[in-house]
Structure 1
Amino acid sequence: MGEESDSFLGYKFDQHSAEASTRHYSGSKQSSTEMSGKDLHPFSSTYRAGDVEKVTLRMKNGLGSSKYNPADYKRLQAIVDAKRQESDVIGQKVQKIQCAAKATKESSILRQHRQVWSRECPRLQKAEEKAENDLHDFLEQIRPSSTTDTAIFSLKDYELFLEREREAFRIAAVQPVHQLREDLFFRLGEVQHQQLTVHPSNWEQVIQQIEFVKDQQDEITAKLDSECAAVEEEIKCLGLEKYFTSTSDTLVNMESIPEEVLNTDCPYPELKDSLIQAFLSLSERYQRRLRSLQEQLQEADRFCCRFGGWCPDDHLCYQFTLLQYTHDIPNHRALCMDMLQRLFPEKSRQELIQHERAWDWQRFIRVQLNVVTQQWQRDQEELLARALYILQEATHVHQEELEQHRDRQNQKDICSHLREKLQRWRAQQEEVAKLEAAIADRQQAEEEARSKREQEKEATIRSQQKERVRQFYLKQQKRKEELEHRDQERLANLRSVMEEQARRDKERVQFRVDMLQRRREEREARELEHQREDEEKQNRLEALRNQVGVVAEADPERMMGDTEAWRSRLLNAKECELQRPLYSINTYTDAQIVSDPRVRVEQALREAGLHQSQYAREVLSVIKPPKTPRRDMQSILKF
């Protein structure tokens, strides 16, 4: 880009120089006309309506008067022819400069194309080597399954056959072209400093040989194209074309309803129907979006041929060219468009841009297809996870309901069994009550006698127990008093320890306050010491100033009078004041200003109309002044 802009700038400078020479020519023509006007009458090319009467009077009075002299048309014709020839020479120079600028620009563009190809060629070679290595590794990893498996051995034989055929093709088609190229380079090196008319017969033979090689290469290319078409037709017939197409070109046929949802035994049919309806609505929504994108994609075929009648080979060449000129290449857009115009001279720039827009739109639709497909998969996975979770929850709820029903039934059975047992128990209780009443009557007498004996015995036991209880309460009271006395002693010890700790904390705080106060006093003392030292230093300096002070006697006449130097200067000024200019100039001269290259470059950029562009700023920032500025004149400020 920089070299192209430099060549363009040089071309502009040459144009301006040509315009300046043309202006100089017109000025010289005018001056020559003025010089010839001393001997000839002036020729006025302007026409005025008021001059008609003056011309009429001149024609009536006649042209032979002493005021008008006859014009020398031959001399004027010779001057016009000389100026016209000079202008033709200048025009030829301008055309040569334009051709040179065009050739420079063309060579710069070709050099940039070669740089792009030099970067692309190693990448293609590496890709070819990687593909070949992968193919060899794949063939080496293949092993026959049995002795009857002859397909592997035939594949090896076919590989050797293809290798021999490729080597034969290289020797027959590629090697002669390289030999012819080397021979032509050798011949050009020999005749570089010689005339082309030395051996005309040899050059005719070389041209015939080149034409023969071109025809041979055209035949080989046509044969390869026919073989490629045959292979493509064979692939189509075998049905292998689907393995070479991108997955984004076809509409993704995904399962609308997963088998996990269909095969799941859901105890609630309505819930299962709602989940199936959700899957169907999701599939219908995404299929509608994919169908709309597919319809947009079907408007242009696989090679965008509906714009300008592009064939598949031209589209592939166009696509490979776009891949070569990536965004990291400087001025990649202009270089890519230039290469496309060179590859497709029959296509206009508008057609190329239109085809590029169609290709970008098709790629955008393919990306949208991939994005929609990924969204469909993600949403379907999320919906499947939610559906499975809901079905699992429904199964758990149904199991809990079944368990609750079984528990209720079991409780009912238990209640009926208990009711039967209760009735049998009541009957038994009634029978037992009758028997017990009879037995109670018999035992009542015995009980009364026994009760008397027990009352006496209980009275003795109660007296003993009361004594034991009294002894127990006395022990409990004594134990409580011991515990209270021990707690009081422990509380007194803790209070004494806490008071001692508080006293120590107060002493520590007071010690820190004293330390801070002492440090503050020391700092103030140091500041006062510094101030005292500064005052002593100023006093010493003032004493030194007083010691070196100048003491002179007052002399008003000498102070107000003229000095010897001033009087000598006045004498010299009176002598040369007649030769002094009217005023002094304290600036640069025109020669000094024009000698600065920055001024000349800025003037050229202004004439070219580039003085406000980024290129002009970069050029002017690089140019250095003719004289390096002093160090004390440099500024460290950055604007």
Structure 2
Amino acid sequence: MENVDKRDRPFTPIQKNSSSGDISAKILLREMYNLVFRMKNEMRSIKYKPVDYQQLHALTEAKKLAAASTELKIRKAAQTSKISKEQMLVRQHRQVWWQEHQRLAEVRCKMESEIKSFLNEENIGDECLSELIQFEQELSEQWCLYVKNVINPVQQLRADLKYRQHDITQCSRSPTELNSVKVLEEVDFVKKQLRDIFERLSLEQQKLENYLSGWNTSVLGHYSEERSNLLSVLPMELETLACPYPDLKSSIFNEFYNFTEKYQKKLQDFDLQLEDIYRNFLLSEEDHWIYQAVLGQYPGDLCGRRTLCLDMLQRYFPHKSRHALVEHEKYCDQYHFAREQRRILISNWNKNRRDFIQKAVLTLAEACAAHETESALAKDRKQQQELCADLKAKVRCFAEGIPVFAWVFI
């Protein structure tokens, strides 16, 4: 640095009477120029050494190989973790399915035994039950015919194909010797028959489901509407009771109508809310039924129930994203909450209606008792007045000198 000519250094004049900020900026600028000067001097000095690019390339390749090996290990670990998680979920699903299968099997056996014991009772005398027994026999005959014409030939063909495959592998016979073309034609023919049968059964199933769904909806809607109508109708207990005070009975009726109108308004609000939530469902009616069936398989107190349910729903609906299923779950929770609130409202309505009827009947009974008491008092008062008038007349006659034996004629 000292051997360098001073003329190569940049000129940095110093001005007097400058402010402290200007002095700091100029000092910083001078240091920067000095740094640039030193860098230029180092570039021209003998301290500079050429770069070994081969060594750098080797180091870079080694780093790349190490990074690739680490990335491969991470991918293998992630894949192993994913597989183990999948296996754990499948084991949990199987455990839940097995428990649900046992529970449903027990319920089915219990229901079948109860139905059979009920149908086998003597002197039932109901045409509906006899029709059910006949329908059960027809279904049993149809099932036996289906097994004979469809299931047994398929199982026989499957066993025959397995035998031929085993014969080919063990005896080293060529497929042409076994007439493979004829076998394939037979398999295609069976597939076509089964496809036609399944399509016909699917159509029948769809018709029955639509019929039962419409019947169920109409019955439930009619029941709900009939129940709300029964709650809003004036009870016979109040209508048939006699009340000596028409104003009191009219006020009780008006109070009942106001009470009913308030609950009807709340019930209509809940019905509108349920319709709005139902329109926001992201699944079709059939998919929603599957959704409910899947949720029903997992008990509410199961550990990790939501994770298992979402995993199974994604398997059932691969075309739906997880976000869509979560949104549908949110709407379903809102729908069930509104349904529960509606049920509580109807229960409270029914309870308050019974309490109101009891209080109204008690009030009318008290009014009748009070009226009878007033009538009895009025009758006694009238008798007392008549007695007083009679006594006054006798006293007046006595004062006027009428004999006592003449009182009888007065």
User: What letter matches 1:157 in structure 2?
Assistant: Q
Contact residue 238 and residue 360 of structure 2 kept, 8 A: yes
Measure, in 2, the Cα distance between the counterparts of 1:218 and 1:250.
Answer: 45
Seen in structure 2, the aligned counterparts of structure 1 residues 210 and 80 have a Cα distance that, compared at 3 Å, is farther
CA distance in 2, matches of 1:284, 1:130: 45
Q: Offset at 1:208?
A: 11
Q: Match of 1:307, SS?
A: coil
How much has 1:261 moved relative to structure 2? 1.8
Choose the corresponding residue for 1:307, options 281, 298, 307: 281
Query: Which structure has the larger Rg over C-alpha atoms?
Result: 1
| Aligned partner of 2:262 among 285, 289, 292 | 285
Q: CA, structure 1 residues 49+251, in 2 after alignment: closer, same or farther (shift >3 Å)?
A: farther
Partner of 2:251: 274
Partners of 1:225 and 1:200 lie apart in 2 by 40
Q: Is the 1:275–1:387 contact (alpha carbons within 8 Å) kept by the matching residues of 2?
A: yes
Alpha-carbon shift at residue 275 of structure 1 (Å): 0.6
How far, CA to CA, are the matches of 1:185 and 1:116 in structure 2? Answer: 34
Which residue pairs with 2:343 in the alignment? 370
Distance (whole Å) between structure 1 residues aligned to residue 41 and residue 157 of structure 2: 82
Partner of 1:132, secondary structure, is: helix
Residue 204 of structure 2 is aligned to residue 223 of structure 1:
no
Shift of the alpha carbon at 1:211? 9.8
* TM-score normalised to structure 2 length: 0.70
The answer as to 2:391 corresponding to 1:418 is yes
CA contact (8 A) 1:341 1:349 kept: yes
Aligned partners of 2:135 and 2:293: how far apart in 1? 30
Partner of 2:355: 382
Which residue of 87, 107, 119 corresponds with 2:99? 119
Q: Distance in 2 between matches of 1:135 and 1:111?
A: 36
After the TM superposition, which residues 39-50 of structure 1 pair with which residues of structure 2 at under 5 Å, given as runs?
A: none
Matches for 1:81-160 after TM superposition, within 5 Å: 84=64, 88-89=68-69, 91-141=71-121, 143=123, 145=125, 153-160=130-137
- Within the alignment, does 1:405 sit opposite 2:378 as a pair? yes
Partner AA of 1:127 in structure 2:
V
Q: CA contact under 8 A between 1:248 and 1:369: conserved in structure 2?
A: no
Choose from 314, 324, 328 the match for 1:351.
Answer: 324
Question: How far is 1:215 from its partner?
Answer: 7.9
Count of residue pairs the alignment pairs up: 359
Distance change (3 Å), C-alpha of 1:387 and 1:84: closer
Which residue of 320, 327, 330 corresponds with 2:303? 330
Q: Taking structure 1 as reference, are residues 272 and 183 closer, same or farther at Cα in structure 2, changes over 3 Å only?
A: farther
For residues 393-439 of structure 1, give each alpha carbon's deviation from its aligned partner in whole angstroms, at most 9, with x where no partner exists. 111121122222222222233334334444555636699xxxxxxxx
Deviation string for 1:138-186 (max 9, x for gaps)?
A: 33237464xxx87665543322111122344456666788899999999
Question: 1:248–1:366: 8 Å Cα contact kept in structure 2?
Answer: no
Whether the 8 Å contact between 1:256 and 1:279 is mirrored in structure 2 is no
1:486 is aligned to none
| Corresponding residue for residue 7 of structure 2 | none
Alignment deviations for residues 231-255 of structure 1 (CA, whole Å, 9 cap, x no partner): 2454578x66533569568872223
Distance 1:217 1:112, change over 3 A: farther
Q: Would the alpha carbon gap of residues 174 and 337 (structure 1) be closer, same or farther in structure 2, given more than 3 Å must change?
A: farther
User: Using the alignment, how far apart are the partners of 2:82 and 2:186 within structure 1?
Assistant: 32
Shift of 1:282: 0.6
- What residue is the counterpart of 1:162 in the other structure? 139
Q: Could you tell me which amino acid in structure 2 is paired with residue 162 of structure 1? A: L
Report the AA paired with residue 94 of structure 2.
R
Is the CA contact (8 Å cut-off) linking 2:277 and 2:334 kept in structure 1? no
Distance 1:342 1:278, change over 3 A: same
What is the 5 A alignment of 1:17-28?
none
What is the identity, as a one-letter code, of the residue corresponding to 1:163? S
User: Alpha carbon RMSD of aligned pairs, Å?
Assistant: 4.7
Verify the 8 A CA contact 1:267 1:398 in the aligned structure 2.
yes
In structure 2, relative to structure 1, the CA distance for the partners of 1:345 and 1:131 (3 Å cut) is same
Residues 340 and 232 of structure 1: CA distance in aligned 2, closer, same or farther (over 3 Å): closer
Measured in 2, the distance between the counterparts of 1:113 and 1:167 equals 33
Aligned AA (1:158): F
**8 Å Cα contact 1:300/1:306 also seen in 2:** yes
**1:96 Cα offset (Å):** 3.0
Q: Note if contact 2:294-2:309 (Cα within 8 Å) is conserved in structure 1.
A: yes
Return closer, same or farther for 1:122/1:184 CA change in 2, 3 Å cut-off.
Answer: farther
Tell me, yes or no, if the aligned pair for 1:120 and 1:324 is still in contact at 8 Å.
Answer: yes
Distance 1:52 1:179 in 2: 92
TM-score, normalising length: structure 1:
0.47
1:314 aligned partner, one-letter code: D
Could you tell me which residue of structure 1 aligns to residue 333 of structure 2? 360
Deviates more, 1:409-418 or 1:350-359: 409-418
Report the CA distance shift for 1:225/1:300 in structure 2 as closer, same or farther (over 3 A): farther
Identity of aligned residues (%): 29
Structure with bigger RCO (C-alpha 8 Å, 6+ apart): 2
* Pair 424,356 (structure 1): closer, same or farther in 2 beyond 3 Å: same
Partners of 1:344 and 1:317 lie apart in 2 by 10
- Structure 2 counterpart of 1:263: 240
Q: Quick check: 1:242 aligned with 2:209?
A: no
Contact kept? 2:263, 2:349, Cα under 8 Å = yes
> Judging changes above 3 Å, is the alpha-carbon distance between structure 1 residues 86 and 369 closer, same or farther for their aligned structure 2 residues?
closer
Does the Cα contact within 8 Å between 2:243 and 2:367 map onto a contact in 1?
A: yes
* C-alpha spacing 1:361/1:210, structure 2 compared with 1 (3 Å): farther
